[in-house]
Amino acid sequence: MAKAYLGLGSNMGDKKKYLDDAMDFIEEHGGIKVNKVSSYYETEPVGYEEQDLFLNIVAEIDTTLEPYDLLAYCNTIEERLNRKRIIRWGPRTIDVDILLYENYTSVDDTLTIPHPRMLERNFVMVPLYEIADHIIIDGTKIHDIINELNKNGIRKVSHE
C-alpha cells in the first residue's frame, strides 16, 4: 500500500454534501483505505475570484492504486458529482486532487506530483498540516512551510 494525500474542494450548491459524497466514493473503493480526514476549511477563491467561497478538506489514504489509476478514479468521482470544467479555477461541484503520493514525482501533461502550487495555497497546506504535521515536501518540513504561508482568507468551520 502507498500513502497518498488528496485535496478536495467545492464551492457550488451543498458544498459539504459534495465533499462528503466524494469521501464516500473514495472509501467505497476496494483499493483505498482512508486513514485521516482534516477539518472543513472555508477559503476564498484563488485565480478566478468572481465566485463563491470554497469548502476544503484533505484526506490521508493508503492505496494499492498506482498514481495514474488513482488520478483516473479521482476524475471518475468528479464526473459522478457533475464537475464541469468551464472556467480555469472556476466554480465547481467538486475537485479531487492528488497532492502527494509516497515519494513519487511526476511532471507531465496528465499528472504532476507533488501537486503544482500546493505549497502556496493555504487551502491545501493548512488542512494537510492538521493531519500530517510530520511530512517533508520537496526537502522542507511542512511546519516550516506553514510558518511562511499567508493564512489570510482561511478559517476552520464546524460541520456536524
With a cut of 70, say whether residue 56 has pLDDT above it: yes
What band does 51 get if pLDDT is binned at 50, 70 and 90? Answer: low
Q: DSSP secondary-structure letter at 52?
A: P
**Dihedral through CA 95, CA 98, CA 48, CA 158, nearest 10?**
60
pTM of the shown model: 0.91
Backbone torsions φ then ψ of 11, nearest 5 degrees: -145, 25
Residues 6+ apart with CB under 8 A from 134: 142
* 62 against 79, higher pLDDT: 62
The residues with which 95 forms a beta bridge, in sequence order, are 9
**pLDDT tens digits, residue range 65-78?**
999 999 999 999 99
Residue reference for cell 497532492:
99
- List domains and CATH numbers for the chain: 2-157 (3.30.70.560)
Average pLDDT over residues 122-131: 96
